[in-house]
Amino acid sequence: MRVLFGRVGLARPVAALACALAGAGVAYLSALHAPARVNGAGSVIYEIYGRVVNVADGDTITLQTDEGQRRVRLASIDAPEVGHGQVRPGQPFGQAARKSLEAMVAGKTLTALCYEKDQYARDVCDLPGEGGHTVNWQQVEAGYAWANTARHGEYLRDTSLPAVERKAREQRKGLWAQAGAIAPWEWRYQCWNQGKCAAGAPASSP
């Protein structure tokens, strides 16, 4: 893992430097434990180089690195949920979204550009894609993920994605070919937490 930080000037007086470093340490610790909450493109903090060995769903992969395996959550997007047993049924197009991501990255060696870890210890990252776009962007463009506008956009780093999502909706791509699509963050609350799953919705289909 390569960490990307700026250099601190060495010409400052020792006392001023110590004060600045102390303040920076507090700010760093605060940022480290905060969830991904950036409106607009955030700054990449570190990189992870590895091979994709698993695609769990439409927005989560596992990278095999020299130091071991790292679970990566794609930043700025939220894909339909796949099923996790009877108490947590999957959404329509959950498996289709997983297969879409799998087709783009499975078995590839790549460098993930990362911002932080989420509450599940997953690295929150962008994945390089083709045509100058991220894989995150491509999932939304193909109609297999939402721009993650939950909590008033607190988790949205790429602010171009809502417009990309609107275009995919208009063209009825991917999951937008079926009426009544429910955003994953609403599904998790209504179905998984409240037990109010959409009637007749096939788990993780098609």
Q: Which residues are catalytic?
A: 73, 81, 122
Phi, psi of 158 (to 5 degrees): -95, 100
Residue 36 has a CB neighbour count (10 Å cut-off) of: 19
Quick one: 30 exposed, middle or buried, by C-beta within 10 A (0-12, 13-18, 19+)?
exposed
CA 140 – CA 76 distance, rounded (Å) = 10
CA 113 – CA 192 distance, rounded (Å) = 31
Instruction: Say if CB 146 and CB 165 are below 8 A apart.
Output: yes
CB environment 150-168: b (16+ within 10 A), e (fewer): beebebbbbeebbebbeeb
